[in-house]
């Protein structure tokens, strides 16, 4: 079952450093909309995965290591949500 754009964009935007609703809408409607939708789906998967990690205490990490790992993974999800990694996205410019 396909996830609607509304569902894909249903996340806490306050946690993102550079959220821009207009950029998100423009990207969804543009040439790379399918890629961006895929990135949003991946970000949702990351959220579920991190929550499962937190609940089940997977791995042999110290609390500090786990906290740092989770922070890093959530940063990746944030970049996916902000359209930073679509072709010509801010993080891919000049690559």
Please provide residue 25's backbone torsions phi and psi, each rounded to the nearest 5 degrees.
-65, -40
Give pTM, 2 decimals.
Answer: 0.87
Q: Are 54 and 70 in contact (CB under 8 A)?
A: yes
**What is the pLDDT, as a whole number, of residue 56?**
78
41-91 residue pLDDT tens = 999 999 999 988 878 766 677 888 888 989 999 999 999 999 999 998 989
Q: Which residues contact 11 (CB under 8 A, 6 or more apart)?
A: 43, 44, 47, 81
CB atoms within 10 A of CB 29: 10
Q: What's residue 84's pLDDT?
A: 96
Alpha-carbon distance 44 to 18, whole Å?
A: 18
């Amino acid at each position: 079952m396909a996830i609607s754009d509304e569902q894909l964009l249903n996340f806490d935007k306050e946690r993102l450093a550079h959220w821009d609703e207009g950029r998100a809408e423009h990207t969804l409607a543009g040439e790379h909309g399918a890629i961006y939708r895929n990135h949003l789906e991946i970000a949702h998967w990351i959220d579920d995965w991190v929550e499962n990690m937190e609940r089940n205490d997977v791995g042999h990490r110290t609390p500090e290591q786990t906290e740092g790992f989770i922070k890093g993974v959530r940063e990746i999800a944030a970049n996916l949500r902000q359209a930073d990694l679509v072709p010509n996205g801010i993080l891919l410019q000049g690559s």
